[in-house]
Structure formats: structure tokens, C-alpha cells
Structure 1
Amino acid sequence: MAVVVFSDLYPILSNVLVQRPLVSSLVVIALTFCARSAFTAFRAYQSDKEIGRRYGCLPPPRLRNAWPWGIDRLLQIFQADASHRLMELFLFHFQDVGSTLEQRFLGTPAYGTIEPRNLEAMLSSSFADFGYGLRRQIFFPLLGDGIFTQDGPPWKHSRDLLRPQFSHQQYQNLTIFKEHVDNLIACLPGTGEQVDLQSLFFRFTLDTTSAFLFGESTYTLKEGQSVTGLEFATSFDTAQDYVVKRFRLLDLYWLIGGPKFHQACASAHEFIDKIIKRRQRKDLGLDDQGGKYLFFDAVAKDSTNEEALRGQLLNILLAGRDTTACLLSWTFHLLVCHPRVLLRLHEEIQMMANGSAGPSMSRDDIKRMPYLANVLKETLRLFPSVPVNTRSATRTTILPTGGGPDGRSPVLVRKGQNVAYCVYAMHRRKDLYGDDAEDFRPERWDSEDFSLKNHTVHTSWGYLPFNGGPRVCLGQDFGLMEASYATVRILQTFPRIEAGVFDRPQVQSWQGYSSHHTNAVHRIAKERQKMTLVMSLGDGCPVRLWR
């Protein structure tokens, strides 16, 4: 049939090509380009296949799709997200399929892993083989050019620039937090009325981070002081919601946008631009301000224009506000749900109060509270602020484990393929943390008998609330000190804290499907989780406090 059709068309095509030399040339060029592209792709495939054979690579188990192109998986993800059950879904997939798996969205293969050895390879030993991929294009409308949207030499330059700004000397005595914790405590009723701590924590960390970055605070916790700060926070949150949706569509990220997204980005940019102009007009230097504007000045001197400066500041503001606000929210949620832990923490703080703990406590005082450190560490284990992340292979490479029927063979990752790693799920592995891996038990960090501590790679890479390798979080100590100081001050001020009541009807567990579409997802935790670029409580953190 095809031969008959071609024989019918051949005289027509020949006539067109002979009579129209331009068309003929274009056809030849197009055919040559297609042939060369196909040949190049074939050679790359053969080369990758040889690499896989050389290292004994085998594919990991696949997360099966019921619909073509994995459309059912995309719908499942969006449904789970709308129900605030996305991490529960991811956890179930790994528990159901394996600790490394393959998935296909829109025909494109990608991988997911919660294996410490694979994370060590991606984030450290094979660091040069992985980059951010499409993240820059996806995040750029909001964050611009900054450390979280950069790869290669630009990223290294940004990191070298920012690292000194997070030196302990900048916040050794913690006075940078005192004023804002005072404002936070002033917002808390002390006679048993219910209050949502999470919304206040996001305002608190915006105030502290803006003071640290700009030398002036947004003061969103001070009544009548900063309407613009609250407007910025709203715009920033709206833009983040869009960015996350773009991220989940990967190659089709451009489908998510529109006037509301671009307006939110523009509003956030305008807020930062006004601060930049205000700082530049005042022309405040280090000599007459005792180093108060060290962070802003260092970044401003290095930036080629205001747009580059804004991008870098927005990147750090995102990390400084959102991650610590989530840590504080989850910490207090877990404390009020576990009175025994709350009591023991109160006792440690009270013991320190007889010494030097109080509004004027220092970083060294915080370091002398081991149970507080364990509480925060355990909170970050169960609810890491950034629970899932991705990397894209910049060249064909391998993951050291996860392939084959037994999950022990290397896995070939071709150039351009994405690998997601979910620390939320890894932190709940029973083979790493014991049978009570899903329980909140800060004392586990004093024990030497759980699996994580009995394996070198697991010890270093099985717990990653702050990422790892060259991209490990620069501000982790700053964030932990901020959360520690705020926690101590709140518990000192309010000796009695109880869980509040969620202002919502009883929510049923989100029902998903296993890789074989037969088993329902069982609810792992009571908490609903809201996913933006970070993981917060889907229903806030309602508590009641008494002075």
C-alpha cells in the first residue's frame, strides 16, 4: 500500500523539486539535519549502552502507569497535593516499589531514590555529573539569577561570596533575634486563647531575615509598622505556588503562568527593589554602622546591576524565611502532641535558666542544651523543610545501587535524565532508623544502636535535612540558632502550652494507587502537609498558651 502511494506521489515530488530549486535545497537540508540528528542520537545511545554494560548497570523497578504517557501519575500527584498528602504518596511509592525506582511522565524516563549511596554520588563524589537542569527556567521569573538557580562557575562564585556572610561572628550573641522574638511573644495571648503559631512564625522569620540581609526589618509582627511587608509575603507565597506547579510539569513548565503569576513576581520584585534603592540612597557604609549592613554591602559590591542584586537577595530571603518558619511550626506541633517530650525540654530550659539562659543567651548557651538539639534534629528528620529535590544528569553517569531484581546493581542515568531524591521518605526508612522510624522520639539521637550510626555512608548521607556535599546549606547554623533561641524564649514565657483545635472537618486519608493499582495508600501521619518550595503544616499550628 505504501509503495503504491509513494509511486503515485513520486512524479509530483520530482516535478516540484526540479521546478523549485529553493524547495529542493530546503528539503535536502532538512533531510540531512534529521539524518545527522538520528545518527548522533544513535551513537550516543550505543555509547551509553556500552557504559551500562561496562559497569554492570541494570534498570531499577518501574512505577507502572495505567494510562499512556503516565498521565495517571500526574493526576495522582496533583490530587495528592490538593489533599495535602503528596509526601504520603511519595513515601508509599518507595515502600511499595523499592528504594530506587524508575517512572515515566509524558514518555520521558526519570528516577527516584532514597538510597544514601546514591545521594552521596549525586551530591558529592559525582557532583560534576549532575546539575539543576530546567530549574533555572522554572524558577527564574520569581527568583532571578541567584545561588539557587545557578550551576557551574556562576554558582561557585555566588557560594564563595555568600559563605563569609554566614560566619558565626555575625550572630554569636544572638542579639539579631532578640527584638523580633520579643515582637513575636507580644503577639501571643497568654490566657489560653487559640492562636496559629505557623502564620506568626513566617512573619517572624521574614522580619529576622530581612534585618540580617538588608540591615532593616520588615517588622510584620509590629502592628501598624509594615503593611508592605505583609503584601510582599502574600505575593511571594502566591508566586511560589505557581513555581511549584511549573516544577511538577518539568518540560511543560511553560504551561503554568499567566497574569496572576507574573503580577505576584512583579510585586515581590518591586518590594526588594525599593529596599535596594533606599539602601543606595542612604549609602550606609561599614565604618559608621559597625558592620550592620555587611551582608547587603558585600552582595551589592559584587553585583553588576540591580536586577542581579535583587535575584541574589531573593534567593537568600526564600531560604532564610521559609525553612526556619517550617522548622519552628513542625517543632511546636510535635511538642504539643508529645507532652512527655515537652516536659523534658521545659526541664532542660529551666535548668539552664538558673545559669545563663534567657533573652540575652548566646550561641554557646544554646550549644549546652543537648535535648533541645535532639528535638530539632528529630523534627527535621520527620519533617525536613525541603523534603524532595531533583538533579539532572549533565552527562551520562551511574548511580551506584538500586538496579536489578535485588536492587544492588548500578543504574545508568543518561545525559538529561532527572533523578529525584526524597529525604522525607529516606528519613522514615526502618532499616536506617528502626521499627519506630515514623515515631517522634528525640532520644534516638543519644542511642548508638540504630542502623544509621553503624554504616559510614548511612551516617553521613542517611540524614540530609540541609542537603549535602558542595551545595550543603550555608545557613544551617544560622537557622538552627534562630529556631533554638525562639523555642527557648517561647517556652520560658509560656510554661503551659497545649494543642489547639483544627478549624476544619475531619479529613479522610487520601486514597492513591500502588504501582499495580490495587492497594490503597494508608495514612502514615495525621498531619496534612502543604507543599510549596518547602513543606509546612497544611492546617497551621493551632495552640493555646498560658503565661
Structure 2
Amino acid sequence: MTSTCWSAMMNAPLAFMNNLKEAIHCYHSLTLIITCISTSFLALSLFINLRSKWREANFMKQHGCDEPASLKYKWPFALDLVILAFSMIQKKQSLQWFSSIFENTGTTFQQRILGARSISTIEPSNIESILNSNFSAYGLGKRRATFFPLLGDGIFTQEALPWKHSRDMLRLLFSLNRTNIFKQVEEHTEHHVHCIPNREYVDLQPLFFQFTFDTTTFLLFGKSMNSIQATSTQGKLIAREAGFSEAFRIPQDYLFRRGRLGDQYWLIGGKEFRENCSIVHQFIDEAIHEALSAEYQENKLGRVHSFLDALMKETRDSKVLRDQLLNVMLAGRDTTACCLTWTFRLLAQHPAVFEKLRMEIGSTLGKFSILPDSNSLKKMRYLGFVLKEVLRLYPSVPINSRTALETTILPTGGGPDGTKPLMIKKGEAVGYSVYIMHRLKNLYGEDAESFRPERWDPEVKNDVDLRNIGYGYLPFNAGPRVCLGQEFALLEAGFVTVRILQRFSKLDLHPDDAKIPVGKEDQEVTLVVASTSGCRVKASWA
């Protein structure tokens, strides 16, 4: 063996040891670097957190804020409340359960559902701040992402300039078509009234949804789908509308549940949700395709100016058109149909109110053959009180929310007695329920949960004076995003109510429904609040 080989053999262990020492040194250096980085990161996080806490404390002190009451729960991340909430949705008693939470916790409280802090309130001054005086401090939050699979980008999901543009177009549409819309309401009401049999139980709710479907499609497309007057030879049209109605209802149920989960909205979805969204989209796409056809464009002369016509001046993108039309469809169809359903449930349940309203209609119009117009409808004070009371107990949108775009305050709800302001951090959601606020006894008296239209009559002595109720009564929202179609909705509801009461002298609610107190019935809460059992009545011809 040569000396070179021998030397190499002797030096190998030494080289290995040196490499090992180097590796250990590198490992310690790397560990030290990682430790330093981690420590620095933790220190930075602690600093940012402390600075944030200091700023929050300073903000609260500056504005005289205090913490609100807290919703109590037993399980981590309030999972027990999440499970209970979905259980109540399944039992059709979610609003009743939510009302009990406010009753036990207070009119403004905080909760940490799935870790995120949010605020719930039914205080009129807080809602006024959110919707009006401090409007710019709030946005729609996760609404766009939550609603997007069904509604896409439309007036309900848009903000800032896109929302303003959509709103301006819709306002102009209502202004231009006021006369034509009233004619459509007249025409379809007559078809509707003649669908009601004499002395037989019938569910009016599907008829009301068909009616508002027809008037809304007229507003959207310039012509009605005429689902109510479809004959047996047009059975396909009825089936098509019925399929659309069910397909439109199912995704709304999902949207309501998605909305309850806040940032975790994406957990609610699935095949049924996607399939029904597709059915709705296909229905609207077919109507748009027809509107874009050459034949439709050639026959445009003499037809009313529709929302689709206004949209097509700006774009021919079918996705954009569909999104806008669906948003208005939701507003025009479901809200008024629900209002009519609750109106006739309550009238059938309260025969004295029914008879008093019939007397006013008779003294104003006389015979059944005389149609009401907008002027005669305005003269009927008691009709106005009835519709006001219906919308108090069953407002179109029972629950809503906004998300803070900046750290701001609500004027009340903080402190042990709930009278101090409270801080809302940037990114936090504030939910409010008009449905529950409308039942507050301090606003509406001890009989706040009862149906009593006379409470709105200033000539009747009441426990509370409602002439200055302000933001304590919000059937159509308020502030810059107030419902543009409220006048149209009240006109529709008033006209239909008058025509049905002109034709029928008696209305009996189904015995199964008659025994259930107002507000205790099973409810389908989606983006609106509907009756689970519908409006099953037996009408007797006058």
C-alpha cells in the first residue's frame, strides 16, 4: 500500500468529523436564524396587536364608547348556537327564536360566531345611523360573494358607482311606465280575482306569486308572461312558471343560510343549490335571447319601454343583462306576493277588520264594476292603515346587515344599561332585524304583536303616537338604498285587495291556520318572509 493511500485512509475520519462539525454549526446557525425570525415576528405581531388595542381604547375613550351585552353560548366558537340556528330554520321558527334572543339579551348585543365578532341590533337610532346618517361608513360586506351564484352583479349586490347607475336606470323606468304599469295591474288583477272559487278553500299564495310574476315580467321585458290567464292549451306556460318559482325559491333558502355564516358562507352550497341556480339562469337567458332576436327588435315600435330595453342600450352581454333582471325580479315578485299573502291571512283571521275595510271600499267606489284608480286608492285611509299594519308585522325583508368599511360607532347599545355608544371595528358586520324591531312594545304599545290597523289612525286614541315613528318603521328600508318600488308595491297590493273585497263578502281562514296566533305560524325565511302553509281561505261571493 502506497503512502498516499495510507494517508487518505487516515485522513477520512478527520474529514468526516470536520464535515459533521460544519453541519452542526450550520444547523445551530439556521436554528438561531429561525428563532430570531420567529421571535421578531411574534414581537412584531405583539406590537401591532398592542398598538391596535391602544388605538381602539383611545377611540372608545374619545367617543365615550362602552362594550355592549354579549350573547352567551356554551361550546367553543358558539357552535351550539350555529347548530340551534339551523335547527330553527328547519323548524320554520327562526324569526321567533331570534326574537327570544333579543328579549333575553337586549336590543343590541355582540356575538362571536365561529370566532368573528359581530353586532346585532333592533334599536331605531342604530339602524338610522347605518342606513342614513353614517351611510358611507358601511358596505354590503360578503353579500356579493354570498348572493353571487344566484343573483350575480345587480342592484342588490352592487355598491358605489355601479349601484348608483343601476338605481338611476330603475328610477327612470318607474317614472316612464307609471301609467302602463297601472294598466297591467288592472288587467292581471281581473284574471286573478276570477281564479278564486266561491265557498271552496283555496291557497291564494301561489296565485299572488303568479300575479306578481306577470306584472314584474311586464316591467322587465315590456310584456307579461301571463301565467295566470294561461288556459289548458297553454299548460306548458303554467308549468314553466311553476318550475321557475320553485327553482327561484330553493336558492334563496340557501342564500339565507349562507348569510347567517358570515365569512364562512362558502360552507353552504351543493348540487341542489347549483342546479336550481342554473334553472333560474336558463329561464332568464331564454327571455333575453328572445329580446335580442331580430323579430323582437322589429316589433319594438309601440311597445312600452322596459328595463331590458334600457339595459340593452348599454350592453348586449347576456350575463350582465341576466344579473340585473334577476335582481329586479326578486324585488318586484317575491316581496309584493308575500305582502298580499299576509294581508289576506290577517284579514281572514280578523273579520271585523275585513268588514270595516269592505265598508270603506263600498263608500268610496260603490259597485264591483267600478275599478279603483290611484286617486281613489289614496282616499281610502283605512286601506292604508291595513297595509301599513301588515308590513309592520311582516316587512318585506325581515333581516339585513351591513359591514363597517372603517372603524366607527353606533350611537347606543354600549354599557351596562345599553345607553352609551359602542365601537364597530373595520370589517365587522352589524345585523339588524326590522321584523323584530316592529314588534317592540316601547315603540308600538303592549299589543305590539297584535294586528290592529287602528294604531295608525291619528284620530284614534292609542297608547303610543306613531306619527313620528321615523326609523322605528322600515317596511321598505331607508336612506340612499331605500326601495325604489315601494309606491308600485303599495299600488299593486292596494288594488288587488280592493278588487277581491269588492267581489267577496266573507273570507274564512282554514281552521288549521285560524287557531295559530299572529307571529307564531311556521315561516319560510329566505330573503323575504313567507307563510309555510300559504294563505288557505274560503271566500264567499258578495
TM-score bracket, normalised by the shorter chain, equals 0.7 to 0.9
Assess if the C-alpha contact under 8 Å between 1:502 and 1:539 holds in 2.
no
State whether residues 205 and 535 of structure 2, in contact with CA within 8 Å, keep that contact through their aligned partners in structure 1. Answer: yes
Q: Tell which deviates more after alignment, 524-533 or 64-73.
A: 524-533
> Does the 8 A contact of 1:173 with 1:360 survive in 2?
no
Residue of structure 2 equivalent to 1:391: 402
> Which residue of the partner structure matches residue 498 of structure 2?
488
Matching residue of 1:151: 159
Contact 1:207-1:220 within 8 A present in 2 as well? yes
Matches within 5 A, 1:391-430: 391-430=402-441
Partner Cα separation in structure 1 for residue 242 and residue 350 of structure 2:
32
Structure 1 Cα separation of the partners of residues 466 and 241 of structure 2: 47
How far off is 1:450 after superposition? 5.4
Give matches, 1:215-254, under 5 Å: 215-221=222-228, 222-224=230-232, 225=234, 226=237, 227-254=239-266
- The CA distance in 1 between the partners of 2:85 and 2:532, in whole Å, is 16
Q: How does 1:94-493 map to 2 (within 5 A)?
A: 94-167=102-175, 170-171=178-179, 174-190=182-198, 192-221=199-228, 222-224=230-232, 225=234, 226=237, 227-282=239-294, 284=296, 289-290=301-302, 292-303=304-315, 305-354=317-366, 360-447=371-458, 453=465, 459-493=469-503
SS at 2:313's partner residue? helix
- 1:530 matched to which residue of 2? 524
Per the TM alignment, residue 171 of structure 1 is displaced from its structure 2 partner at its CA by 3.6
Q: Say whether 1:86 aligns with 2:97.
A: no
- Asked if 1:73 is matched to 2:81, the reply is yes
* Deviation (angstroms), 1:344: 0.4
Q: Any stretches of 5+ residues in structure 2 without a counterpart?
A: 1-21
Unmatched runs of 5 consecutive residues or more in structure 1? 1-10, 508-522
Q: CA deviation at 1:42?
A: 4.5
1:300 Cα offset (Å): 2.2
C-alpha distance 14-373 of structure 1, shift in aligned 2 (>3 A) = farther
8 Å CA contact 1:114–1:422 kept in 2: the answer is yes
Contact 1:385-1:534 within 8 A present in 2 as well: yes
Q: CA deviation at 1:28?
A: 9.0
Q: CA deviation at 1:392?
A: 0.7
**Matched residues, percent identical?**
44
Instruction: Name the amino acid aligned to 2:59.
Output: I
- The one-character-per-residue Cα deviations of 1:437-478 (angstroms, maximum 9, x if unpaired) are 11111011113765764795xx22000010000000010111
Q: Report the secondary structure of 1:533's partner residue.
A: coil
Match of 1:501 among 492, 505, 511: 511
Cα 1:273–1:173, aligned 2, differ >3 Å: closer, same or farther? Answer: closer
Runs (4+) of structure 1 exceeding 3 A deviation are 11-20, 27-45, 282-291, 357-360, 448-456, 501-504, 523-526
SS in 2 for 1:307: helix
CA shift at 1:48, angstroms?
A: 2.6
Deviation string 1:479-499 (CA, Å, 9 cap, x unpaired) is 111111111111112222111
> Residue deviations 1:15-59, cap 9 Å, x none?
458689xxx89x999987777666555434432322111011011
Does the CA contact (< 8 Å) of 2:108 and 2:119 recur in 1?
A: yes
Q: Cα gap change, 1:405/1:196 in structure 2, threshold over 3 Å: closer, same or farther?
A: same
Report the Cα distance in structure 1 between the residues aligned to 2:379 and 2:197, rounded to whole angstroms.
Answer: 30
Q: What SS is found at the alignment partner of 2:401?
A: strand
Q: CA deviation at 1:183?
A: 2.2
Does the 8 A contact of 2:177 with 2:305 survive in 1? no
Distance in 1 between residues matched to 2:277 and 2:373, nearest whole Å? 37
Matched-pair contact (CA < 8 Å) for 1:135–1:149: yes
With over 3 angstroms needed to count, the CA separation of the structure-2 counterparts of 1:353 and 1:45, relative to structure 1, is same
The verdict on how the C-alpha distance between 1:52 and 1:12 changes in structure 2, with shifts beyond 3 A counting, is: farther
Which letter does structure 2 place at the counterpart of 1:305? D
Larger deviation, residues 57-66 vs 140-149 = 57-66
Which amino acid in the other structure matches residue 423 of structure 2? L
Matched residue SS, 2:293: helix
